[in-house]
Amino acid sequence: MNILSAAKKRHTAKAYDTERRIPEDVMQQVYGLLRNSASSVNSQPWHFIVANTPEGRARIAKATQGGYGYNAAKVNDASHVIVLCARVDMDEAHLDALLEQEERDGRFRDAQARAGQDATRRGYVNQHRYGTKDVAQWLEKQVYLALGTALVGAATLEIDATPMEGFDQKILDAEFGLNEKGLTSLVLVSFGYSSSADFNAGLPKSRLKQEATFTFI
C-alpha cells in the first residue's frame, strides 16, 4: 500500500476485536517510527509507555473513568496502548544525553560541529524558555509530530489506531510517577484491529477541498 492510499484509508477506530493481537514484529515497526520521528533541533522530548497486557491496559484505563468513560473500551479492548508523554522542560541531563548520543552516532565531523549543534539547540530552548515563554507547549508540539508519524505508519502497516486526548491527565501522571521524572502524559494511542462494531470504518473520508487548504505561489 502506498502512503497516500494508507492516509486515505486511515480512520480513528471506535471499537476493537478483542481476539486479535498485533504481531510483535509489526509493533516493533511502530516503536521504531515513534523513536525516529522528526523533532525540532533533534530535541526528542518524549517518552512512550507501552501497555501490551490486560494488566497494563487496565492501569491506563484508570484515566478513562467518569467523564472520559467513552474511551475506556478503546483502551481495554485494544491490542496495544501507548501513552505519549512530553518533557515539561529541557533540563541539562537531557541536553547532554542528546549531544552524547549524536556523537556516538557519528553526526559530528569535529569538535566545532559538536559545539555548534549544542549552541543551536540551547538557543532554541532559551528562546522558548525566556523569549516566547512557551517551552512546555513547544515540546508538546514535537510529541504530536511523533503521533502523526505513528498514525500514518500504522495505516501503512494495515493496523488500526485511535488517538485519544480524552483522559484524566492527573490520574495517569500519578499512576506512572511522571511528574517526578519531569514528564507529563499528553495523548493516548490504541492499536489493534477494528471489530464489526467500528462504525467509523465504513464511513467515507471527509476532508476540505485542496483549493481550500493550499495556497500555491
| Cβ neighbours for 175, distance < 8 A, ≥ 6 positions apart | 59, 60, 62, 63
Question: Is 74 designated active site?
Answer: yes
Question: Is 14 designated active site?
Answer: yes
Question: Is 165 designated active site?
Answer: yes
Question: Hey, is 170 helix, strand or coil?
Answer: helix
Question: Hey, is 160 helix, strand or coil?
Answer: strand
- For the chain, the straight-line distance linking the first and the last C-alpha, in angstroms and rounded, comes to 31
Going by the DSSP 8-state scheme, the letter that residue 134 receives in this structure is -
Q: What is the dihedral of CA 76, 82, 87, 93, to 10 degrees?
A: 130
| Cβ neighbours for 57, distance < 8 A, ≥ 6 positions apart | 51, 75, 76, 78, 81
Choice among 9, 133, 141, 165 that is catalytic = 165
Q: Which helix (H) or strand (E) holds 47?
A: strand 46-51
Catalytic residue numbers read: 14, 74, 165
